[in-house]
């Protein structure tokens, strides 16, 4: 909001307004993969009800590439509805 500099001293006023708390919800697998959602959610460390983390989503592509029986058609996507994040794996 404002910054003041006085010789070797800096002070500032920060006005932080947090957005809504968004939580992970359903993990959906699209395609013919015969893997249970529960296994994949645990492997990807995406737990329903936990606060959403973009870092976890960014890490999913790396983790999925490590599974030899799986081929990603496109990067994982997230759909946001109200206060929930729905993860889509293709």
Structure tokens at 66: 């490590």
Residue pair 87/57 in contact (Cβ under 8 Å)? The answer is yes
Over its length of 90 residues, how does the chain's per-residue pLDDT go in tens digits?
688 888 889 999 888 898 899 999 999 988 887 888 889 899 999 999 999 999 999 999 899 989 888 888 889 999 999 999 999 998
**pTM for the complete prediction?**
0.73
Please report where in the chains the tokens 């976890």 appear, as a residue.
56
Question: For the chain, how many residues are written?
Answer: 90
């Amino acid at each position: 909001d404002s910054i003041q500099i006085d010789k070797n001293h800096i002070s500032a006023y920060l006005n932080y307004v947090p957005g809504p708390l968004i939580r992970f919800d359903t993990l959906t697998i699209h395609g013919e993969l015969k893997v249970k959602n529960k296994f994949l959610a645990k492997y990807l460390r995406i737990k329903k009800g936990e606060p959403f983390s973009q870092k976890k989503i960014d890490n999913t592509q790396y983790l999925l590439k490590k599974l030899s029986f799986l081929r990603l058609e496109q990067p994982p996507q997230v759909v946001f509805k109200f206060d929930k994040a729905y993860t889509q794996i293709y």
